[in-house]
Chain A
Amino acid sequence: MTTALVIAQLVNGVQFGVLLFLMSAGLTLVLGIMNCINLMHGSLYMMGAYLAAAAYGQTHSFLIAAAAGVLGTMMVGVVVERLVMSRLYSRSHLDQVLATFGLILFFNEVVRIVWGPAALSMEMPRLFAQPIDLVGLPYPPYRFAVLGVGVLVAGALYLLIHKTRTGIVIRAASANPAMTRSLGVNVKLLNMLVFGLGAALAGLAGVMASPIVAIQSGMGEPILILTLVIIVTGGIGSVRGAFYGALIVGVVDTVGRTFLPMLLRQLLEHSYAQAVSATITSMSIYVLMAIVLAVRPQGLFR
């Protein structure tokens, strides 16, 4: 266990966390402002990956693929918002859960109809093909690019929310939706905007994940559940909570998977350690969430 390996895994963890932040930020805003559960957020992530892969297949340009992924997903999001989500804002959480669950099934099948049941793949952009040197270890530069994009987007989000008029309205709506409505803010437009923004962020996450993961039906749900864990742990409606929560979850998950087996192998007999560590590493995030909720049910930053 070298320092270099630890650093590499930490960077991996932060990169994963950044990806999760893109997902969490959009979703926590929707949850906080429209008070609407949206389980098909993972489907938007999936659409981002699929659209990017499809566009890349036609144009072999990563830039165009990325644009297609982000903008295409945003448009899908807006259409879904107008047709389904807007009817759900005043309904119970149960109805929202059911409707968005139905949408998950629908989208999971739609991608199979359009692109077939086999997984798509996305080439790693040539710019990032050569590994770079990270404290002595070869490291894929693409992950740094993801990190960079993520930090940029986080910064842009911060500016949007804290330094613009739209941002003030979003913050107000997040803190007190009813009051904001009664102050004459065009709520329909705001809802569409927030949902579209969330969809774009999810799409971006999908685009950035596309060279690294298998692009297939159902790929959104594991990410969705991690996103929900982050939001619940960080505090519903809190973008700051989503930021720190995502980083923590990203690092804990990555580091846990790598180092916990090593640690357990020191303490337990080998085959037993394998079995136990596999179970525990996959559970570590949920245990973290359970601990946070046991102590502070409203989340860390609410």
Chain B
Amino acid sequence: MTISLHLNEQERTAAATGRAARLGRMQPRHAAALVLFAALAAVPFIATFAGGPYLVTIASRIVIMALAAIGLNLVLGYGGLVSFGHALYIGLGAYAVGIATQHGLDNGLAHIAIALGAGGLLALVLGAISLRTSGMAFIMITLAFAQMAYVSAVSLRGYGGEDGLQIAGSSRFGPFDLSNATVLYYVAFVLLAAVALLTSRLVVSRFGMVLRATKFNEQRMVALGFKTFRFKLIAYVISAMICVIAGILQANLTHFVSPAYMQWTVSGELIVMVVLGGMATVIGPIVGAVVLLLIEDQLSGIDLGLPGGADAFVSAHWLAFLGLFIVATALVMKRGLYGTLVGEGDKL
């Protein structure tokens, strides 16, 4: 099997008629996806030779954020709904673990049940209210609700308030628990792969086709008889629950939860990941998460030996450079890094 980055005549024609090329050559985007997953799967092995536990930690963080980004992409990329408040659900998942553990409950299934139950319910209520609006108002309302959750978390003095809560323990699943870094990493990785796979099925399912068509032409979908509100709400709830799962993993990774997990800046970073990687593609958010978090990591610890103390300046004020990078992404990125590989249209 050879991998070619140039489309031949047959592939061009096939692309024009929208049919996937089945020609015995792997498409570039599938190759990229395969490489990405292989690399992520190999991280703990690589870590034994170079990078050590730090590599596993940062890779865990990337995988967990990638999971949340895939969740957001469902409503943002495929649904066309700009939600600026998805960090709320990450925080909720983390707090579920923190609060439950605080009360002596470390059963992983209980953590999941509480988190998904509360998260699903909250998403249903907040989504139902937010989706009554559209466009600018929708974005601002999701931002406001996330802020509301942040402020509520700060007032939870019994659970650490603004300083956050140390989590003494991990989610237990029978004989094993998530306290082992490698176990946690592989659980997160498997979940990421599973959610990616399910998303790829979802977007071409009956539900997914209606959701995507609503993004493109809601007027026509309503005129066909679809109650579009329901589809958007269900997509919103599903995406929220994916973020809740990411939050559960996050709490197990850091053994800590604080209101900062729900801050709107985190929601903003999620959006950047999705746009940077490629909206309305399954793999795009993962690429975006990898790239963005690596950039943040590198900028804040930059050590390239640049002249005139530039290194120190950049690493001390890396947020300013990140900010400019995000502005550039917004102005320049059309389809995102992975999205450019995919070409036009929503695809895997």
Contact = CB atoms under 8 A, between A and B. Distances in A.
Contact between A and B in the complex (any CB pair below 8 Å): yes
Contacts of B145: 286, 290
Interface string A225-267: 1001101100010000000000000000000000000000000
Interface in A57-111: 84, 87-88, 91, 93-99, 101-110
A13 to B, nearest CB: 18
A294 interface: yes
A112 B329 contact: no
Nearest to A102: B326
B133 A228 contact: no
Interface stretch (A157-165, A177-185, A189-197, A275-283): A275-283
B109 interface: no
Nearest to B152: A279
The range of chain B's interface size is 35 or more
A289 B264 CA distance: 18
Contacts of B319: 105-106, 108-109
| Chain A at the B interface: SS class | helix
B327 A232 contact: no
Nearest to B263: A221
B277 to A, nearest CB: 13
A8 interface: no
Interface stretch (B24-32, B41-49, B54-62, B155-163): B155-163
Interface string B115-138: 000000000000001101101110
B144 A232 contact: yes
Nearest to B268: A101
Given A94-B82, A113-B320, A275 B157 contact: yes
A221 B264 contact: yes
A120 B114 CA distance: 44
B296 to A, nearest CB: 11
| Chain B at the A interface: SS class | helix
Given A93-B135, A97-B139, A228-B143, A105 B152 contact: no
Given A98-B271, A293-B129, A297-B132, A105 B323 contact: yes
Interface residues of A, number: 47
A57 to B, nearest CB: 22
A232 B320 contact: no
B320 A109 contact: yes
Nearest to A281: B155
A228 B329 CA distance: 24
Contacts of A88: 330-331
Contacts of B136: 31, 35, 37, 93, 236
B327 to A, nearest CB: 4
Given A97-B84, A101-B268, A297 B133 contact: yes
B137 A102 contact: no
B166 interface: no
Interface in B64-115: 76, 82, 84
Contact of B143 (A95, A225, A282): A225
A107 B322 CA distance: 11
Contacts of A229: 140, 144
Interface of A: 31, 35, 37, 84, 87-88, 91, 93-99, 101-110, 112-113, 221-222, 225, 228-229, 231-232, 236, 275, 278-279, 282-283, 286, 289-290, 293-294, 297-299
7 closest A-B pairs by CB? A102-B326, A105-B323, A106-B323, A109-B320, A98-B330, A99-B330, A102-B327
Interface of B: 76, 82, 84, 129-130, 132-133, 135-137, 139-141, 143-145, 147-148, 151-152, 154-158, 264-265, 268, 271-272, 275, 317, 319-320, 322-331
Given A228-B140, A229-B144, A286-B148, 13 more contacts: A37-B136, A88-B330, A94-B76, A104-B323, A106-B319, A106-B323, A106-B324, A109-B317, A110-B320, A112-B317, A228-B143, A282-B152, A293-B132
21 contacts: A37-B139, A87-B331, A88-B331, A93-B136, A95-B330, A97-B271, A98-B272, A101-B268, A101-B271, A102-B325, A104-B323, A106-B323, A222-B147, A225-B147, A232-B133, A236-B137, A275-B157, A286-B145, A289-B141, A293-B137, A297-B137
